Amino acid sequence: MILKLKGKSLLVAILKLTWNAYLYMIWRQRNKRYFSASFLTEDVVLVQIKEVVQTHLGGKLINRASLLMLHSVLLKLKV
């Protein structure tokens, strides 16, 4: 799915950032469990993913069409 995302729209940028943040956080959790026998809860990992995406999008311009498209996708996902 993520390989089919093309373009420079806000929605594509958010989905790509979210996917990359998800993979990174899962990898970190795997290493924490394997090497230090500690881990974070799913809720904490989700918050970290949201923070990464928000940080990376901080400087991007957001137009109304992108906001409406993002809102409709989030409603479908019930985030």
Global pTM reads 0.63
Q: How confident is the model at residue 24 (pLDDT cuts 50, 70, 90)?
A: very high
Instruction: Tell me the C-alpha distance between 73 and 24, whole Å.
Output: 23
Q: How far apart are CA 31 and CA 40, in angstroms?
A: 12
Sorted by sequence, the CB contacts under 8 Å of residue 22 that are 6+ apart come out as: 49
Please report the pLDDT score of residue 12 as a whole number.
81
Question: Is the model's pLDDT at 19 over the cut of 70?
Answer: yes
Q: What's the whole-number mean pLDDT along residues 30-49?
A: 86
Q: Is 59 helix (H, G, I), strand (E, B) or coil?
A: coil
Burial of 14 (0-12, 13-18, 19+ CB in 10 A): buried
pLDDT surpassing 50 at residue 71:
yes
Question: Span 16-43, mean pLDDT?
Answer: 87
